[in-house]
Amino acid sequence: MAVNAKTLNETEFFYGHKACAGCGGSLAVRIALKVLGENAVAVLPAGCMSAVGFNFPQLCFGNNAIISTFAGTASMLTGVQAGLRAQGITDFHAVGFAGDGGTADIGLQALSGAIDRNDDILYICYDNEAYMNTGIQKSSLTPFGARTTTTPAGKNIHGNLRPKKNMFEIVAAHGIPYAATASVGYINDFMRKVEKAKSIKGTKYIHILAPCPTGWGIKTDETIEIAKEVVDCGLWYLAEYENGRFTLNHRPKEFSSVKEYLKKQSRFRHLTDEDIDIIISSRDKKWLQLAES
């Protein structure tokens, strides 16, 4: 039976941290560590989750945890698992928690190398769709139209011009043993995926969408709803890649309103109806492709 609220490890491993109130990323880290348990060895690159977890001498992790270079999450994970094995330790879970910038931009090479070697690690990307820790700059996972400090919304240019990179498919294209997408709005689905990843040898990748109230311009109590809504309106999808095959976990019968989803967030408030039409048609194109595969 899949792990649920009642059977989940009651111990908290990520506690007293300094994330903003309502931070989606901190919920993803908290829940993943509860599923993995005390034998998790966590690697966190520069980014919000390391900034809020390690404030020397305060250490908000109850399990072993270490900060890596911004680019080096996956390579440090490789080192951690090799080091533990060299000591004869086999009962561990080397897990990384990297942001969207740390994963899809600067950390992509190290991640690709680890997958290529099929190192026994779990890489979790908590995607808040921008470089939040340094003040909301665009990453390659920032969606089209989003306002960030490096993609401002003006009269002529309406925020980010580029679409969001599909990290899940990039990772799957390596032929990785297991990859999945998730959202903090569907936390049981995320727990099931972490639990599954825990039992698989080799490289595992989970990409979880994790709203950031500060960078997205939502209220601190809206994190879960917005993370649910992004799935329900079809701009994000829950899927798995295993044994060379894709599975779609959740197919909304009818999409909820994209416009409503966007307009709740100040990063999208400037968008015109034409901009929103572009977003809707790229969503429809993606779902057509998903239906065919």
Partner 1 sequence: MKPFLRENIPTDLEEIPDAPAYEAGYLVTKNAGWRNVRPVIDPLKCTVCLNCYLHCPDGVIFRKDGRVEIDYDFCKGCGICKKICRLGAIEMEAEKNG
Ligand X SMILES: Cc1ncc(C[n+]2csc(CCOP(=O)(O)OP(=O)(O)O)c2C)c(N)n1
Of 73, 133, 181, 223, the one binding ligand X (CB under 6 A) is: 133
Q: How far apart are CA 292 and CA 221, in angstroms?
A: 37
Rule CB under 6 A: is residue 224 a binding residue for ligand SF4? no
List the one residue out of 202, 187, 9 whose CA is nearest residue 122: 202
How, if at all, do strands 54-55 and 40-44 pair?
unpaired
Positive or negative torsion for Cα 226, 232, 235, 236? positive
Q: Which residues bind partner 1 (CB under 8 A)?
A: 5-6, 8, 10-19, 21-24, 26-27, 30-31, 38, 56-65, 187, 219-225
Helix (H) or strand (E) holding 204: strand 204-209
**Minimum separation from the CB atom of position 61 to partner 1 (A):** 6
Give 99 or 213: the residue with its C-beta nearer to ligand X. 99
Which x/- pattern over 118-147 shows residues binding ligand SF4 (rule: CB under 6 A)?
A: ----------x---xx--------------
**Minimum separation from the CB atom of position 200 to partner 1 (A):** 24
Helices (H) and strands (E) in the chain, counts: 11, 10
List the one residue out of 275, 19, 21, 31 whose CA is nearest residue 160: 275
**Which residue minimizes CB distance to ligand X?**
99
DSSP string, 208-223: EE---HHHHT--TT-H
**Minimum separation from the CB atom of position 255 to partner 1 (A):** 22
**Minimum separation from the CB atom of position 68 to ligand X (A):** 10
Of 74, 212, 235, 276, the one binding ligand SF4 (CB under 6 A) is: 212
Rule CB under 5 A: is residue 100 a binding residue for Mg ion? yes
Q: Counting Cβ atoms within 10 Å, is residue 179 exposed (0-12), middle (13-18) or buried (19+)?
A: buried
Rule CB under 5 A: is residue 73 a binding residue for Mg ion? no
Strand order in the sheet with 122-127: 64-67, 40-44, 93-98, 122-127, 204-209, 178-183, 239-242, 245-248
**Which residue minimizes CB distance to Mg ion?**
99
| Number of chain positions touching ligand SF4 (CB under 6 A) | 13
Interface contacts to ligand X, rule CB under 6 A = 25, 46-49, 70, 99-102, 128, 131-134, 139
